[in-house]
Amino acid sequence: MIEGSYASGTSTVPLRGMTLGEMLDNITAKYPDTEAVVSVHQNIRWTYREFLKQVHDVARGLMGLGVEKGDRVGIWAMNHAEWLVVQYATAKIGAVMVNINPSYRTYELEYVLKQAEIQTIIIQGRFKTSDYVGMFYEACPEAFEAKPGRISSEKFPFLKNAIFIGDIPYNGMFTWEELLKKTEEITNDELVARSEVLSFDDAINIQYTSGTTGFPKGVVLTHHSVLNNGKIIGDGMGFTEKDRLCIPVPFYHCFGMVLSSLASVTHGSTMVLPTPAFDAEEVLKTVEKERCTALNGVPTMFIAELTHPNFEKYNLKSLRTGIMAGSPCPIEVMKQVNTKMHMSEIVIVYGQTETSPGVTMTTTQDPLERRVSTIGRAFPHTELKIIDPKSGKIVPLGEIGEICARGYCVMKCYYNNPSATHATLDSNHWNHTGDLGTMDEDGYFRIVGRLKDMVIRGGENIYPREIEEFLHHHEKITDVYVVGVPDRKYGEELCAWVKVKDSQVLTDQDVKDFCTGKIAHYKIPRYVMFVSDFPMSVSGKIQKFRMREESVRILGLHEEEKIETA
């Protein structure tokens, strides 16, 4: 009998049956004086005791604003210490934190506010070209006329509160200090009483991932799924209270929230925030100054660090481990990270938001060859199988099929989207990833492609349909399709095939200008090709694989196509 591509991760360590709040209490009792958060760009240093006080103050403040269990609290901010406080404070009171991508613009913010039925939104100040307060007022002009706590909008009927992370008294918003003053209205006993009615199976997080329908889908995750995924990740890297993790990856993404924040907190390790948004040299400076033992990043971040002109200036010998994930990793880059950055125990993690996110991981003991050519083996307490997408049957070892995952890590659902949920989770609660891979006789998995046409640009998951639907709003465009093409820096870039209406004239810069400020910058196609028709099958179906091949040929990306990835 041919052995099938099925694996079940085993472990002698049981899953933890507790909420995030209970876990943070336990860790703080164990390591009260260990540094929990070091935000270099904010000049903040908090021990676990101090961090827990911040969490309790914000939790009581939110309760004072009327936030109930199950209410959605959106946070639209980059990597600030306050983001971490909100993560654990919302979990303490059973609210559902909604991660809003800081790259979003008004169009996308409106969608998330409405789709997630957000009751309270927490907003950071301006950063570079992003005026977050201005965009919020543009999306919800009623807030500008409202008193804090009394927003009333027909478009966003659930929205009541807006909180500014800072001390500027914007119209219709509470300042951070005013939020903290609300603690006076809620006693510690009331906070404890709220915590006691929570279950670890409760939803506490919604993360948006672009959808094949053209609109982002809100992945609903629980205490149980993210806590245990973070714990297993930290175990895999050998984390203890002596580790200090440098976190340049964004918190709004599972990589920051789970693989970084929860991997650290579940082990009493220190979270070190170099900057609000990625800056290669600041990461190198921070690793040296803070004596970081671990560093996470997507391949493009590691490439930027390795190729920085001042790279040799910095002493990185304190580094030991970290995670490279988010998009396929060029094998040569992984080798350089091992040697030049002294990260001999760096690991690869594979997963997706729908699985909290990790389902496979290499280990610190795996030989280099395994860590540069595979995505590792199944996580403990996680089942994986590779199936024939047409028949649903498990394929023999070594054969290509769709990777499916099942276990504690699988999402509850897509929020308010039952049709998308049923398309991803089957009747036996297997999560169908849409990724094509193989499994060998030792249980190691490899990714060979994607069943869907998702593009991964520098760790950001992008579904072309969303960009296509947006570009269809352009009055001069009659039809458009978007494909991913290989890129040396980001792994993949977007290429739009555009058909212009008769007698109309359009340039590639016109298309990019149309997108700028309306959709996230990483979703703006780098390449625009104007065509009179599209490659189709005999039955009339669009053939995107031919578009990709033709794009590579026309754009001269043959060398980028040859880059090997793990």
Same domain? 484 vs 548: yes
pLDDT attached to residue 212:
39
Q: What is the largest CA-CA distance in the chain?
A: 71
Same domain? 413 vs 499: no
Q: Is the model more confident about 196 or about 1?
A: 196
Same domain? 487 vs 388: no
pLDDT digits (tens, 9 = 90+) for 156-186: 999 999 999 999 999 999 999 999 999 999 9
Same domain? 348 vs 472: no
pLDDT attached to residue 213:
44
* Predicted confidence band of residue 38 (pLDDT cuts 50, 70, 90): very high
Residue ranges making up the domain that contains 151: 20-24+45-199
The three-point CA angle 89-142-513 to 5° equals 90
Question: Residue 409: is its pLDDT beyond 70?
Answer: yes
Sheet arrangement for strand 217-222: 174-175, 161-164, 118-123, 72-76, 96-99, 203-209, 217-222, 413-414
Backbone angles phi, psi at 333, to 5 degrees: -65, -45
pLDDT digits (tens, 9 = 90+) for 187-234: 999 999 999 999 999 999 999 986 434 578 999 999 999 999 999 999
Rg of the chain taking only CA atoms, in angstroms: 23
**How large is the average pLDDT for residues 357-386?**
93
Same domain? 386 vs 517: no
pLDDT digits (tens, 9 = 90+) for 290-349: 999 999 998 889 988 999 999 999 999 999 999 998 777 777 788 899 999 999 999 999
Sequence-ordered list of residues with C-beta below 8 angstroms from that of 128, at least 6 positions apart, any chain: none
pLDDT attached to residue 1:
46
pLDDT attached to residue 510:
97
Same domain? 319 vs 187: no
**How large is the average pLDDT for residues 468-473?**
88
- C-alpha 78, offset from chain centre: 12
Neighbouring C-beta atoms of residue 504, cutoff 10 Å:
11
Task: Decide if 214 is inside a domain.
Answer: no
Range 154-182 burial, b when 16+ CB lie within 10 A, else e: eebeebbbbbbbbeeebebbbbbebbbeb
Q: Tell me the C-alpha distance between 347 and 321, whole Å.
A: 7
Token readout for 312 is 């040799």
Question: Residue 74: is its pLDDT beyond 70?
Answer: yes
Contacts from 396-400 at CB under 8 Å and sequence distance 24+? 396/2, 396/3, 396/4, 396/5, 397/2, 397/3, 397/4, 397/5, 397/439, 397/440, 397/441, 398/5, 398/438, 398/439, 398/440, 398/441, 399/5, 399/438, 400/436, 400/437, 400/438, 400/448, 400/449
pLDDT digits (tens, 9 = 90+) for 429-449: 999 999 888 999 999 999 876
Same domain? 273 vs 388: yes
Task: Decide if 554 is inside a domain.
Answer: yes
Same domain? 497 vs 416: no
Task: Decide if 1 is inside a domain.
Answer: no
pLDDT attached to residue 210:
65
- The number of folded domains in the chain is 3
Are the C-beta atoms of 497 and 544 separated by less than 8 Å? no
Task: Decide if 301 is inside a domain.
Answer: yes
Question: Residue 2: is its pLDDT beyond 70?
Answer: no
Sequence-ordered list of residues with C-beta below 8 angstroms from that of 481, at least 6 positions apart, any chain: 464, 468, 496, 497, 534, 542, 544, 547
Q: Tell me the C-alpha distance between 448 and 544, whole Å.
A: 17
Are the C-beta atoms of 36 and 16 separated by less than 8 Å? no
Q: Is the model more confident about 529 or about 564?
A: 529
Q: Is the model more confident about 382 or about 480?
A: 382
pLDDT digits (tens, 9 = 90+) for 48-62: 999 999 999 999 999
Mean pLDDT of the chain: 93
Amino acid in position 28? T
**CA dist 27 to 35, 47, 142, 440, Å?**
12, 11, 42, 38
Say which CATH number the domain at 307 has.
Answer: 3.40.50.12780
**How large is the average pLDDT for residues 372-388?**
95
Backbone angles phi, psi at 401, to 5 degrees: -165, -175
Q: Is the model more confident about 544 or about 409?
A: 409
Task: Decide if 206 is inside a domain.
Answer: no
% residues pLDDT > 90 (the chain): 82
Q: Tell me the C-alpha distance between 352 and 357, whole Å.
A: 5
Task: Decide if 355 is inside a domain.
Answer: yes
Task: Decide if 208 is inside a domain.
Answer: no
pLDDT attached to residue 252:
95
Same domain? 117 vs 131: yes
